[in-house]
Amino acid sequence: MAATSLLPKSISHFPANPSSLPSTTTTTTTSKLSFLNQPHDQPQCCTKRTNLQTVHLKKKNPWLDPFDDGPDPDMEYGTLFTDGKQDEDPRPPGNPDNPYGFLKFPKAFNVEIAGLALKVRGDVRRCCCMVSGGVYENLLFFPTIQLIKDRYPGVQVDVVASPRGKQTYEMNKNVRWADAYDLDDDFPEPRVYTDFIGILKGRYYDMVLSTKLAGIGHASFIFMTSAEQKASYVYPNVNSAGAGLFLSETFTAETTNLSDGGYHMYNQMVDWLGKPFRSVPRQPLPPLKYSLSRKIKEVVEAKYRNAGAERGKYVVIHGIESDSQASMQSRGDTDSLLPLHVWAKIVKGIRDLTPVFVIPHERERENVEEIVGYDVGIVFITTPAQLAALINDSAGLIATNTAAIPLATAREKPSIGLFCSEEKAKIFVPDAEEKRCTIIASKTGKLIDIDVEAVKNAIRFVNVSLALV
């Protein structure tokens, strides 16, 4: 009998509920987590909370952990890191006498120990945003970055974008670092690929967001950053197979081209980022805003003065047909450039203002002078920040569906948008009247067939409005 009593009691393999374990195991676990609970002499005001991972996931992926049966129904949180938003952490100042800096650890980062608030409240101290596309797509991501800053106070936001898209973040003060890496390259060089993974992994990100449609290749790239939360758009077809194994949250795009969504192309990610959580209400999406440095304004002012224009007395013309990558088109609207002979007819309706053509390449200067004439201004601009400064000092804008339209509407500049169809106009410029944007759409579905007389009438209306102002 003595030998029999020493044998361990038999327990079932893989218990379905953690509460089904023996009482000794439950007591030990509770004692280890006693600092999360209220003292017994205080009133119990805590409510049962769901697990953070369960809140973030729309539907549990059984392949992530086959032995995970969900949150513990007996788990109760105390008052530590449970409600409200995160706080901005103080950081000791840098030592100017030390060439290596002083305590160059990121904010809220403790060596080898993850922050408790990261697990309990879902704090995000460092966030990396991988934005696919060019200038237009990165510009429309600005409100999402501002939402992240508002939702997680003190967060440091870094961006990974294409070399052309990286130029956009010259106008965004919320971004700490912007790295140039071509996310749309399906076959990157191995040395560049592995080196960039090491860079991202060494920054200890808490959250990684990606707007590139992910398959198993891009999902594994995000997984190797070792971030706690990994969210990305995935393909709406079979190409997304296996991507969910490496991601914490997935957003299925409606089409294989995310830019088809226009101004609200990131609505699924925005809805997930701004969702209510415990006592934190839903975070609204702020409008598009950007900032311009004094140096950029001075450089652009010198350019348009050399072209014969004065501040507030010229109209920006953007969207001439060219094969340059600096045209700042959207991937969701490839028919968004007009040939110069059409622009020559449009600018004849401008009175009392100087038309200033924005050329993406110097070789277009001779074409503008030959077709349009020598009495117009010509400015060579390739960066979105300089284009924004040019629009900011102008009286208005006439452009096709390029990055110039959101740049003008963000500063409430009167603008005329030329689109190939009404559907494209509604998608890319919602609430156009409130944004002081007059929409002129082609009736045939092709931009080249746009009604020039309708554009001239809109120009006369804008001229009257400016005169009244």
pLDDT in tens, 224-272: 999 989 999 999 999 999 999 999 999 999 999 999 999 999 999 999 9
Closest C-alpha to 132, from 29, 257, 24:
257
Report the pLDDT averaged over residues 316-331.
93
| DSSP tag of 226 | T
Report the pLDDT averaged over residues 395-405.
95
237-241, 347-351, 384-388: the lowest-pLDDT one? 347-351
Q: Domain 294-468: what homologous superfamily?
A: Glycogen Phosphorylase B; (3.40.50.2000)
pLDDT of 319 strictly over 50: yes
Does 113-274 match 294-468 in CATH topology? Answer: yes
Q: What are the residue boundaries of the structural domains of the chain, listed by start? A: 113-274, 294-468
**pLDDT value at residue 75:** 72
**pLDDT value at residue 106:** 56
**pLDDT value at residue 22:** 43
CA–CA separation, 255 and 332 (whole Å) = 11
**pLDDT value at residue 40:** 43
**pLDDT value at residue 91:** 56
Report the pLDDT averaged over residues 75-79.
71
**pLDDT value at residue 356:** 96
* Dihedral of alpha carbons 274, 275, 276, 278, sign: negative
The CATH code of domain 113-274 reads 3.40.50.2000
Place of tokens 């900032």: 291
Mean of per-residue pLDDT scores for the chain: 83
Report the pLDDT averaged over residues 66-83.
73
**pLDDT value at residue 119:** 76
Neighbours of 311 (CB within 10 A): 12
**pLDDT value at residue 16:** 44
pLDDT of 32 strictly over 60: no
| DSSP tag of 84 | S
Report the pLDDT averaged over residues 21-34.
40
pLDDT confidence bin for 284, thresholds 50/70/90 = very high
List the beta bridge partners of residue 441: 419
The model's pTM is 0.80
Report the pLDDT averaged over residues 34-61.
45
> How many helices (H) and strands (E) in the chain?
17, 12
pLDDT > 70 in the chain, percent: 78
State pLDDT tens for residues 100-110: 655 555 555 55
**pLDDT value at residue 462:** 60
Q: Which residues contact 229 (CB under 8 A, 6 or more apart)?
A: 56, 122, 124, 206, 207, 208, 248, 249
Q: How far apart are the first and last CA of the chain?
A: 102
47-51, 211-215, 260-264, 430-434: the lowest-pLDDT one? 47-51
pLDDT of 23 strictly over 60: no
pLDDT of 331 strictly over 50: yes
Report the pLDDT averaged over residues 124-142.
95
pLDDT confidence bin for 121, thresholds 50/70/90 = confident
CA–CA separation, 108 and 115 (whole Å) = 7
pLDDT of 38 strictly over 90: no
**pLDDT value at residue 296:** 96
